[in-house]
Structure 1
Amino acid sequence: MSGLSIRLAALPDLPAVAALFDAYRQFYEQPADAGLALQFIGERMSRQESVILVAQAAGTLVGFCQLYPSFCSVIAQPICTLYDLYVAPEARQTGAGRALMQAAHAHAQQNGFARLDLSTARTNHKAQALYESLGWVRDEVFLYYNKAVPGAIAPA
């Protein structure tokens, strides 16, 4: 995609990033909810709880990835979780996803993160091929679990 650029998202990007985030959630079979997407992304941005990188082409945001800083107790170093990666259908196969992944790696490197982690659906073979082509290694040692916490109280 000619004219593709990757940059940090800024508050004026909020509506466009939220729309991409809503589409991302729908990809993972969640119901469309533009209000929830706007609130969630707005909170991450205003609280500086994540780093959001955006792909822009011809003045339009066509993709994003969201990174959450964390720590790994085993290696006793800061790490970063690449939790979200999404490219709009019309911008797929243009290199936007690859460019976002490379920018995430550069961000981690420049900010002292020892490792990047991510997870993806077992059926998302295209994404897996992209990750592996960029040197990501599938974890064969650890199993990941999660558990819902019904009735959790949201932080103020």
Structure 2
Amino acid sequence: MAATLQIRPVEAGDEAEWRRLWTLYLEFYESSVPEEVYLTTFARIISDHAANDATFYNPRGLLALSDGHPVGLVHYFYHRHCWQVDHVCYLQDLFASPEVRGTGVGRALIEAVYARADAEGCPRVYWMTQEFNTEARKLYDRIATLTPFVKYSR
């Protein structure tokens, strides 16, 4: 029998599972963040995004649940853009637990962000990944367009 997959917003009671999944994501990229970043990010994710213009730009989070158990997450946020009037949506973090990779969890999370962005009147969603993330890029190549941009950072 196939598992039931549900995608829903991160809620206040999800902190432990959200933290577990985000830590696994950060470890995949050989990275970590201090406790203050965990606390601040989670508070922003569960904030009331409709309250005012400033909170509209806070990150949002969705969890993927397989038979009620969290197995994936995505973080995204909206921002203004100088080349168009509409906001754009940046999909910042996407993670599916190793045991569910290849089962549609990543695709479902991306499509959930697409749907939410469309509902907010935000027609453009974009993200980045590292070149070595070959398995994820197979999915991305099917559901998005690879751009020629190169990222620089300070």
SS of residue in 2 equivalent to 1:29: coil
Counterpart position of 1:144 = 151
Deviation at 1:72, TM superposition (A): 1.5
TM-score (norm 1): 0.84
- 1:153 maps to none
Amino acid at match of 2:132: T
Structure 2 vs 1, CA of residues 31 and 84 (structure 1 numbering), >3 Å: closer, same or farther? closer
2: distance between equivalents of 1:126 and 1:58? 24
Name the SS of the counterpart of 2:121 in structure 1: coil
1:42 aligns with 2:64: no
> What is the aligned partner in structure 2 of residue 112 from structure 1?
121
Residue 12 of structure 2 corresponds to: 11
Question: How large is the RMSD of aligned CA atoms in angstroms?
Answer: 1.8
Determine if contact 1:15/1:38 at 8 Å carries over to the other structure.
no
Q: 2:117 and 2:27 mapped to 1: Cα distance?
A: 28
Q: CA deviation at 1:84?
A: 0.2
Would the aligned equivalents of 2:7 and 2:65 in 1 still touch at CA under 8 Å?
yes
Aligned residues: 144
**CA contact 1:108–1:114 (8 Å) conserved in 2:** yes
2:46–2:60 contact (8 Å) kept in structure 1:
no
Letter in 2 for 1:56: L
Code of the residue aligned with 1:85 in structure 2: it is: L
User: For residue 151 of structure 2, what is the amino acid of its counterpart?
Assistant: Y
Give the gaps of 5 or more residues in structure 2. 50-57
Residue 114 of structure 1, CA deviation: 2.4
> What amino acid maps onto 2:112 in structure 1?
A
| TM-score with structure 2 setting the length | 0.85
* Equivalent AA in structure 2 for residue 28 of structure 1: Y
Task: Name segments (4+ residues, structure 1) moved above 6 Å.
Answer: none
AA aligned to 1:130 is L
Question: Does 2:63 align with 1:62?
Answer: no
- TM-superposition CA deviations, 1:7-50 (whole Å, max 9, x none): 111111121111111111000001486x4564243232244511
- Structure 1 residues without counterparts, runs of 5 or longer: 148-156
Contact 2:73 2:96 (8 Å CA) reproduced:
yes
Q: 1:103 aligns with which of 104, 112, 115?
A: 112
